[in-house]
Amino acid sequence: MQLRESFFRGKGMRGAIQQYTGTALWLGFFAFVLAAWALLFAMQPGGAAAEMAELYGSDFLRTLCAPITAKTGYGALFAMWALMSAAMMAPTFVPTLSTYRGLTHTEAAGTATFVMLVVSYLMVWLGFSGAAALAQLGLARAGLIGVDGISVSLWLSAALLLIAGAYQFSPQKDACLSKCRAPMMFFMEYWRPGLGGAARMGWKLGAICIGCCWALMLLGFVGGVMNPVWMGIATILMVLEKLPEIGRYITRPLGGALLVAGGLSVAAALSGV
């Protein structure tokens, strides 16, 4: 009935198919996000992961869920960061994707370009995950973070908090956020047609997103890598920061709070607490 009504309203069969395709794409995107979060919760130590590993004999899953030690392999850390980055950063991409899908007179109305934009965006975060996993491995081997991925050094915590806080006030942060908060302006400036164009725009959007969020993501070493509470709070903050009507009221107050927390960490380190 809905398909017939769309046809007689002048949209035609093609328009109705595009509408249903768009709905399926969004459902697939959010199913991916939910699956990533479900896996993160399942991988919590002492949670459902151990039962899943026993049930399915998944040595890889068991490795991912094991506490992080100086002997933990890079592959497991990389997989963990990749999953965490996908779960946390895909929701922040929704306003940009919505704008892209709204460009119905272009290739954005197609399935292939939509998927390519998302995949290219996440590939950039895959690169970030590789660097973050390497950093975690180095910090673990230096004895600066514990088995839960939380810093055991007040000086390391202070440095991360102060860097993240100061970055909130930086021109680089402002420049990246301005692109994230005005996706239509981004597409007007950097539009490229076809699958290759979608890939290039996805890579650029991923790089811009890293420019916005890298310092906040590294606070996982303070709040606890794979800590669902920290991941949830950080995701909400990064989503809100990218909303034009809300973000400007969050970025600098958040930076101030992080600087205060960093100062308190310095004071605690100097006092030997």
Write the CA distances from 198 to 101, 124, 190, integer angstroms. 12, 14, 10
What pTM value is reported for the model?
Answer: 0.81
Helix or strand or coil: residue 153? coil
Instruction: Give first-to-last CA distance, the chain, whole Å.
Output: 70
Output the pLDDT for position 75: 87
**pLDDT at residue 161, as a whole number:** 97
pLDDT at residue 70, as a whole number = 47
Q: What is the pLDDT of residue 57?
A: 44
pLDDT of res. 4: 44
Residues in the chain with pLDDT values less than 50: 1-11, 13-14, 16-17, 47-58, 61-62, 65, 67, 69-70
Which regions of 141-223 does DSSP assign to beta strands (E)?
none
Instruction: Pick the closest to residue 93 from 212, 6, 190 (CA basis).
Output: 212
pLDDT at res. 88:
94
pLDDT of res. 211: 95
The per-residue pLDDT for 207 is: 96
- 89 burial via Cβ count (<10 Å: 0-12, 13-18, 19+): buried
